[in-house]
Amino acid sequence: MLKAIKESAKEFIKKTEFKKIRVISHNDSDGITSAAIITKALQRLGRKFSLIIVKQLEEEFIRTLPEEEIILFLDLASNSFNYIKKLKTEVFILDHHEIISEIPENVTIINPHLFNEEEISGAGISYLFARELNDENKDLAYLAVIGMVGDMLEKNLGKILQGILNDSKVIVKKGLTLYPATRPLNKVLEYNSDVYIPGVTGSNQGTKEFLRENGIGRIGGQFKSIIELDKEEMSKLITAITLQATNKNGASDLIGNIYLINIFNKLEDVRQVSAMLNACSRLGESGIAIAYALQNKKAKESAEVIYAKYKQSLVNALDSLPKLKKIKDKNYLIINAEDKIKDTIIGTIASIISNSKEYEEGTAIIAMAYNEDKIKVSARMVGKNGKNIREVLNSVIEIIGGEVGGHKFAAGCLVEKSKEAEFIKELKKHLEVELVKIK
Ligand SMILES: [Mn+2]
């Protein structure tokens, strides 16, 4: 793959010499960091370009792309060949999503699936490409690490990802991956949504007692952060969480690599940085997210304000849950938020619900929210049971029409609002059938 990247980078340099470039990237943390890498690389290359961040690629959008520009897709487009092949312009794609049809003639694509490579995020591929454009771009490796953590590919590092990590100045430590690992533990435990400890999660007093009981030390009057813990404190804390958490796997899922970077002259947890980028982008401020990722000082303050706003909007959305339309069955829960929750955070809400202690393992959580004339649907499985929620959505969409993405435990789709009732009816039917069949 590295050889193919080298060749396509050469070709890209040649073909863009006298042409404007249109960069199109995805709106999650991996897409934002991909865009940040390519933005910097194109500036260094002295190319004229414009950048658009999108939630997903739709046919109408692709159809309106200008013929006179070179198109560069990042972290998306591998499953949109049917539309892309109709374009009369040269298209470059740096992506890692599954390829579902033949590669059109106007497309030059780098995708690890084509090379039987390890899983690499969009930002990882963008970085490898940028590094071929100019060796100076090696200083952008930290962005690829943020994208990798954002796409949760940080658990099994293959050779290529390890190489990217080595290029970056990111520090890796083993321990509890609750984040931010750089802030006092009481705050982290109180507000985290990855592990639920009765009497502790959500309780200011409970958290402090829990930490005191388990002998977690203080520095300067504040509880230590995860990275400040000594070995004994770390193992005591992990044992305590394992014993008291109600999640099936307790803390075992929460032990792994902690990634730390120096950004704006401060040591930050990469998971936290990635969460900030996601938040900005989801609230429609992808420009600020990219500037923040590139360590633009002006963007820092705005990004922090937006992040606080985002967390508040999640709290508000969770508070509004009891009032929303719901269909509950033994094996599933459908929440129709209509216009009461933003479509950009409905996926996060579905994830939080599926991680809460409230529903049994194997329950399908499906959350719906309006997005203009469409409905965004996010589906999550509680736990890691073998039911394939993407297939359920697929079979519904085959009847209703629309687009599906995602995988076994977390998937989503977009359907026409006019088909709301029909969608729910078919969904119920398929959830019942599918769940029975797989059992
Ligand atoms: Mn990605």
Cα 25 to middle of ligand 1, angstroms: 10
pLDDT of res. 356: 75
H/E element, 397 = helix 389-400
What global pTM score does this model have?
A: 0.85
Cα 121 to middle of ligand 1, angstroms: 5
Q: Distances from the Cα of 269 to the Cαs of 218, 274, 360, 409, 416, in angstroms? A: 20, 9, 31, 26, 39
Cα 27 to middle of ligand 1, angstroms: 9
Q: Which of 125-134, 163-172, 242-251, 418-427 has the lowest mean pLDDT?
A: 242-251
pLDDT of res. 439: 43
Q: Do 71 and 22 form a contact (C-beta atoms < 8 A)?
A: yes
**What percentage of residues in the chain have a pLDDT greater than 90?**
73
Q: How far apart are CA 392 and CA 332, in angstroms?
A: 12
Cα 170 to middle of ligand 1, angstroms: 20
pLDDT of res. 251: 61
Q: Do 23 and 72 form a contact (C-beta atoms < 8 A)?
A: yes
Cα 147 to middle of ligand 1, angstroms: 7
Cα 153 to middle of ligand 1, angstroms: 10
Q: Which two tokens stand for residue 374?
A: 């469409």
Cα 275 to middle of ligand 1, angstroms: 14
Cα 362 to middle of ligand 1, angstroms: 26
Residue 233 has pLDDT above 50, yes or no: yes
Q: Is the peptide bond before 184 cis (omega within 30 degrees of 0)?
A: no
Which residues are placed with Cβ below 5 angstroms of ligand 1, an ion? 30, 75, 121-122, 151
Cα 75 to middle of ligand 1, angstroms: 5
Q: How far apart are CA 357 and CA 360, in angstroms?
A: 8
Q: Where are the domains of the chain?
A: 2-166, 172-317, 324-438
Cα 352 to middle of ligand 1, angstroms: 20
Q: Which of 18-27, 117-126, 143-152, 400-409 has the lowest mean pLDDT?
A: 400-409
Cα 8 to middle of ligand 1, angstroms: 20
Q: Which of 67-71, 190-194, 271-275 has the lowest mean pLDDT?
A: 190-194
Q: Answer yes or no: same fold for 2-166 and 324-438.
A: no
Q: How far apart are CA 118 and CA 396, in angstroms?
A: 31
Q: Which two tokens stand for residue 327?
A: 């269909």
Cα 76 to middle of ligand 1, angstroms: 7
Cα 388 to middle of ligand 1, angstroms: 21
CATH topology of domain 324-438: Diaminopimelate Epimerase; Chain A, domain 1 (3.10.310)
Cα 31 to middle of ligand 1, angstroms: 6
Cα 266 to middle of ligand 1, angstroms: 26
Q: 262-270: long-range contacts (C-beta < 8 A, 24 or more apart)? A: 262/169, 263/142, 263/295, 264/295, 264/297, 264/300, 267/171, 267/182, 268/180, 268/182, 269/179, 269/180, 269/181, 269/182, 270/145, 270/146, 270/149, 270/170
Cα 217 to middle of ligand 1, angstroms: 38
Cα 426 to middle of ligand 1, angstroms: 30
Cα 122 to middle of ligand 1, angstroms: 5
Cα 242 to middle of ligand 1, angstroms: 31
Cα 176 to middle of ligand 1, angstroms: 24
Q: Which of helix, strand or coil describes residue 296?
A: coil
Q: Distances from the Cα of 102 to the Cαs of 73, 79, 106, 373, in angstroms? A: 17, 10, 12, 31
Q: Which of 19-28, 347-356, 397-406 has the highest mean pLDDT?
A: 19-28
Q: What is the pLDDT of residues 239-298, one digit of tens each?
A: 899 888 876 555 667 889 999 999 999 999 999 999 999 999 988 999 999 999 999 999
CATH topology of domain 2-166: inorganic pyrophosphatase (n-terminal core) (3.90.1640)
Q: What is the pLDDT of residues 343-379, one digit of tens each?
A: 989 998 998 888 777 788 889 999 999 999 999 999 9
Average pLDDT value over all residues in the chain:
91
**Strand pairing partners for 240?**
none
Residue 91 has pLDDT above 70, yes or no: yes
